[in-house]
A and B are shown apart, each in its own frame.
Chain A
Amino acid sequence: MDAIIRQFFNIDIMVQAAPLIFRGLGMTLLVCAAVVPLGLAGGLMVALAGRAHARGIRFIVALLIDIFRAVPPLVLLIFVHAGLPFAGLRLSPFASVCVAFFLNNSAYYGEIYRAGLDSVGAGQREAARSTGLTAWQAMAYVVIPQAVRNVLPDLVSNTVEVVKLTSLASVVALPEMLYSADMARSLTYNSSPIVLAALVYLALLWPVVRMMSRLEHRLGG
């Protein structure tokens, strides 16, 4: 028991590692601030392109969604970070993370928006058009707001996944929270810094997870 506390909950080591980990938290939040809006915007574009009239465009969009949902995000990230330099494209860790997660998240958010757009009846768009709104106005002011409201729980739940995903950036040496914690771990030969990082993730995400789970149970009933 004593060994477990010394290895995982060593307060002295946590205090020492705290400044490093909180600096890492800053980078984690910065990555989230870049990656979440990129994914939300990319996903909306994907969902709208998936409803194009041209069959070819719809096919390509569906293909891209399946490809980027099938490849694990870490594989995509390592491909962008370690593979593209051979083709002459060298991106910083931060840019690699943004590009890789933009591709991955757009596919996931895109599927959610698609379900949302499907859930809005065709009559809404027709009514909006008949009042004289253009196709884009009808989409932007009538259909999309309702679609987003219908899938809000799924959007929130996917955003939690995106925040968790940012921990993968540690693999390409972006000094976010997990990278900083792991560095402290390898210096101290003790797991407490990672436990501290885990506690910070819990503080960030537990309230959202709790709220989602209440929402899911209500919807299921």
Chain B
Amino acid sequence: MDNGTLFLDTFFKPELIVRYLPDILNGMAVTVEIAVLMVIAGISFGLALALVRSLRSRLVNISIVIFVDVARALPPLVLVLIVYFGLPNVGILLPSYVVLWLVLSLILAAFAEEIFWAGILSVREGQWEAARSTGLTYSQTLLHVILPQAVRLTIPPLTNRTIAITKNTALGTVIGVPEILNQATTAESFSFNATPLMMGAIAYLLLFVPVVAAGRYIETRFAWRRA
């Protein structure tokens, strides 16, 4: 067997591609589902935290900062393992995909809160004063004047961070969530061939290359101006 055939037989074996394609496609569906739910939950919770923080209640803000710092400093896999193996022993049983969704949502919320908060701070004080002096209430000012300006600034860093955290759905394989990587490694150990792993990698490329390219476009489109 020459090198070319050996390469194809190791990474692109046609019978295996046909046999495991349905599994990989199922994995893609699971990955997309968890990713979408995680992005929705994480960004809304992060925005909510940033809005609460803008009320500047000291005790509340200290708890928010601690939550955000801890979620930013800990490796996601550490949190996944603590929640997945720890909670059943204190009587809370969650399915593995809920654990994955919950942990990643909390991490995204922490990063999103930081980014939204930096955005809110970056809107000049005069905007607040002008809006309040025209008779808008605090929440009207926040909603109609500050947020629209802040959100625009936050889009590029938020997009990049969201993409990076979305890729952590692959960690689900460690706790048995049937997403792409899990399907691929299972198929690899059954077939004793690297083709399923290659299929898994290609599945990720199909899902994420467009997202990465879009992120790059957004980054240039809404350039995050720094002082």
Contact = CB atoms under 8 A, between A and B. Distances in A.
Interface string B159-170: 000001001111
B72 A209 contact: yes
A123 interface: no
A201 B6 CA distance: 43
B118 A79 contact: no
B75 interface: yes
A71 interface: yes
B204 A191 contact: no
Contacts of A66: 209, 212-213
Contact of A178 (B81, B117, B168): B81
Contacts of B11: 83, 86-87
Nearest to B211: A70
A21 to B, nearest CB: 12
A167 interface: yes
Contact of A201 (B74, B119, B205): B74
Given A70-B205, A74-B170, A170 B194 contact: no
A3 B76 contact: no
Contacts of A219: 118, 226-227
Interface in B118-155: 118-119, 121-122, 153
A146 to B, nearest CB: 15
Contacts of A94: none
Nearest to A182: B81
Interface string A38-82: 000000000000000000000000000011011111111011001
B67 interface: no
Interface in B191-227: 193-194, 197-198, 200-201, 204-205, 207-209, 211-213, 226-227
B75 A201 contact: yes
A194 interface: yes
A213 interface: yes
Interface string A194-221: 1101100110011011100100111111
A30 interface: no
B171 A201 contact: no
Main secondary structure of the interface of B (DSSP, over half): helix
A23 interface: no
A74 B119 contact: no
Given A7-B90, A202-B74, A74 B181 contact: yes
Main secondary structure of the interface of A (DSSP, over half): helix
A91 to B, nearest CB: 14
Nearest to A65: B212
Nearest to A189: B89
B35 to A, nearest CB: 11
A144 interface: no
A168 B174 CA distance: 10
Given A75-B204, A83-B188, A83-B197, A198 B85 contact: no
B14 interface: no
Interface in B41-84: 68-70, 72-79, 81-82
A67 B73 contact: no
B162 to A, nearest CB: 13
A213 B114 contact: yes
A220 B121 contact: yes
A75 B194 contact: no
A67 B118 contact: no
Interface string B166-187: 0111110110000011000100
B81 A75 contact: no
Given A70-B212, A75-B170, A205-B73, A87 B81 contact: no
Interface string A161-188: 1001111101100000010001001000
A72 B172 CA distance: 12
B194 A86 contact: yes
A-B pairs, top 8 by smallest CB distance, nearest first, are: A70-B208, A191-B86, A220-B118, A167-B75, A72-B167, A72-B170, A164-B75, A205-B73
5 contacts: A71-B204, A75-B200, A83-B188, A161-B164, A185-B81
